[in-house]
Structure 1
């Protein structure tokens, strides 16, 4: 038997006899990794759940009320109107009410839209704790999507009043459809989606291999050091 296999057989016996090491190498990963995955899943589900939105409306026109109705009628969105004198007071009030997002409709919002000028809506993400921020990010994206949909609807109404029968063709004259050609097959999926799948596969495997190599190197280094300390390395060799 070669020197390598002698060392391998001895270290394997030592590993199997050491219950603490077996617990750390086998039992702990089997508990920690599923727990981390479960925790991430719970966090994502909470982020995708109900979005609590506080609205401070400083506008007196019809378009401000229309925006509030659009938010109030959206699924998974709970709207709370906040009475405040300024933005700072509205933020404090929304934070006390445990809201995820504060939407501020500034003065002159309806007037700007009526005069064909750009109107600004301020969306404040409220971080109650220094966590992952996933819920606040998802809530902001959800509110922005509603605002963009309402904005496009108002634009289409204005364009139709000007005499255009197809407002979408005027607002978006060029549209892109993304497809993928994967190994001789045409797939009706965007390249970004395919790239995300391939990236997840190409990243996971190297990480696992890296962890295995690192753990093996640490075990080997510790074994050689202990053999030298116990004056048994020369005997094994």
Structure 2
């Protein structure tokens, strides 16, 4: 019993320590963005590497995701002669849930791991210490532009995922199953609304902030040489993915609670 209590106590302390560090690091990174120098070039660079370079993988994933939704729902809707409703299902599913979550998980795997590995390598090779010696704030220089670039990029990537996912569902429904395209588009317009898109964009912004801050946090506090960098990268991806799924539920619950 004593050992169990000790294990629980250590877990609670580690949990509180992690979120305490996360809050302090996030607060510093967000507020430092408004202090000169602004370093817009670094922000634009991360917009390109995190946002633009992620478009191909987001596009392919969203196209087939929309197609899979259409494939899975066709048999059920066909029994009631309601195949034209597939478009609304694809649009709402992609906008509210699948586009922000899948985009966030893909960016976590692609860019979140890179953030943790790069910053972690700089930590163990004492490059961050060198920045501090040169009076350069490492949080502002390394973390702030990544956080803002990731948050903004994920919002736009989610919009792209919405569009391409719907195209995937349209191609499968209309060109494979022969659904009437006029009814398909009309019922999509009737049942899918802009608030569905806004819900997804709210989630995307929160997910972008979470995955970037958690990934940078693990990289910034890396210890133990090359092995420590690998461990930090793994923990960053796992923790970010879990946080995305947990906050996905919380945001959905709050939006429904307040009827937003």
Query: Taking structure 1 as the reference length, what is the TM-score of the superposition?
Result: 0.29
Structure (1/2) with the larger helix percentage: 2
TM-score (norm 2): 0.27
**When you count strand as a share of all residues, which structure comes out higher?**
1
Report which of the two structures shows the higher radius of gyration computed on alpha carbons: 1
Higher relative contact order (CA 8 A, sep 6+): 2
